Structure 1
Amino acid sequence: MFKRLISSALVFGMAAIAPPARAQNCAPREIVVERLERQFNETLSSAGLQSGRSQDVIIEIWSSSQSGTFTVLVSHPTGLSCMVASGHDYFIVPEHKRRNDPAS
């Protein structure tokens, strides 16, 4: 009985401190960037800073105009980047001129 209790506590304790499932799509940023550039011919299209509770992260969109693929990364200050989305048929929405813009 005591052996089962200790085993159960150990298993549940390990599960509680394990990283989230999405962390499996994470790697050092330089490795992720190199793969996106070499394997998918993607380049950085846009990025922005997202303020979080514990730390700020950079949201990056990498894309390829040749293949139409794209990848969304979340890059942490620790140097770790996580792929959160990817797909195909990427397109850029052109900026619309403002109605009051004298140049329009």
Structure 2
Amino acid sequence: MTQQMFALSFGLAVLLSASQIAHGAPQCDTRKAVTALLADRYGETRRAVGLAGQAAVMELYASDATGTWSITMTLPDGTMCLMASGSTYEAVTEDLPAKGNPA
């Protein structure tokens, strides 16, 4: 009985996760179109940038006025995809630990 309940619970969790992944698939367009959308609709500007692997660029866009944020990924062909977005953005400035000291 316990194994059967575990199997049913696990199966339900997998189904829920799969629906979340499918529903949350990245939305992609040209970099120009996505940055214009983020600026015009949400007032977001680029706040951070980094390399994702050797071929993609990750960027964080956010707005102090609206509190929204978006994480994008730009591919070598110029396609930009919205990977995640949310609300209640807050910039945090923290001092980094000195070299050699465990964090």
Rounded to whole Å, the distance in 1 between the matches of 2:96 and 2:68 is 27
Rounded to whole Å, the distance in 2 between the matches of 1:95 and 1:85 is 24
1:65-104 equivalences under 5 Å are: 65-96=64-95, 98=97
Q: Secondary structure at the match of 1:74?
A: strand
% same residue: 29
Structure 2 residue aligned with 1:46:
48
Q: Structure 2: which 5+ runs fail to align?
A: 1-21
Aligned-pair distance for 1:81?
0.4
- Normalising by structure 1, we get a TM-score of 0.66
Rounded to whole Å, the distance in 2 between the matches of 1:60 and 1:98 is 25
- Normalising by structure 2, we get a TM-score of 0.67
- RMSD of aligned alpha carbons: 1.8
Q: Structure 1: which 5+ runs fail to align?
A: 1-20
Structure index of larger Rg? 1
- Post-superposition Cα deviations, 1:1-31, rounded to whole Å, max 9, x if no partner, equal xxxxxxxxxxxxxxxxxxxx635x0001100
Q: How many residues align?
A: 76
